[in-house]
Amino acid sequence: MDQDMIATPLKKLERRLAKAEQILPTLATKAELQAAIAPLATKEDLKALAAATKEDLKALAAATKEDLKGLAAATKEDLVELRRHMDVLTESLRGDIHLIAAHVASERSKHPGT
């Protein structure tokens, strides 16, 4: 009777271990995880990006005011090129915002409840 009581839990344990052994090869190693996070921005990178973005926006606003003074003489082609330039700047800014948002989300998941 004692043998049966011991054998049943051991068989269950062996099944669970066999399932775990099948999953292990698919899991990332510590080195793979470090390589995956290496290109991510650090807090210092994001702070520098935020500071640079503020300065870029101020410079852009100043340049735009100057551009508007001469806009009356601008041709349709000039306006189309200006629109294209602004679209590029907007997309760049949008990418920066997504990068910051992803980093903030990542930090929140590492430190829940803060």
Sequence-distant (≥ 6) Cβ neighbours of residue 106 within 8 angstroms: 40
The 10 Å CB-count burial string (b at 16+, else e) for 51-85 is eeeeeeeeeeeeeeeeeeeeeeeeeeeeeeeeeee
Check residue 9 and give its pLDDT. Answer: 85
Q: Which residue has the tokens 């910051």?
A: 100
Report, as ranges of residue numbers, the positions in the chain whose pLDDT lies below 70: 1, 64-74, 112-114
Distance CA 63, CA 30 (A): 48
Check residue 47 and give its pLDDT. Answer: 80
Q: How many residues does the chain have?
A: 114
Question: What type of residue sits at position 74?
Answer: A
* Residue 93 · residue 53 · CB < 8 Å: yes
Token pair of 113, please? Answer: 């409840």
Check residue 54 and give its pLDDT. Answer: 74
